Amino acid sequence: MPAGIRLRTGETYTPKQLARLLGYTEESRPGKVVRDYLRAKNPKRTKYQPWVLTEAQAADVLANVPMKH
């Protein structure tokens, strides 16, 4: 997980929130970089359903999706 980013115990997160934490703030489709990662990792997940991520899932995203420079 990138230095300085802390997740709150028991909270849930959306791809848009995580993308913002990673510095993806100017994208036309906020959260897409996170959703792309999640889809690659979970190819059998039902399409067109909202992502609500647990703290552990959010930590995985933050550890594996690069920060925007």
Domain ranges of the chain: 15-64
- pLDDT band at 47; cut points 50, 70, 90: confident
Q: Give the C-alpha distances (Å, rounded to integers) separating 45 from 12, 41, 51, 53.
A: 18, 9, 10, 13
Q: What is the model's pTM?
A: 0.86
Whether the predicted pLDDT of 4 surpasses 70: no
Return d(Cα 50, Cα 15) in angstroms, integer.
9
**Residue 29 phi, psi dihedral angles, 5° rounding:** -125, 85
- pLDDT tens digits, 14-42: 999 999 999 999 989 989 999 999 999 99
Whether the predicted pLDDT of 69 surpasses 90: no
Q: What pLDDT does 36 receive?
A: 96
Return d(Cα 7, Cα 46) in angstroms, integer.
26
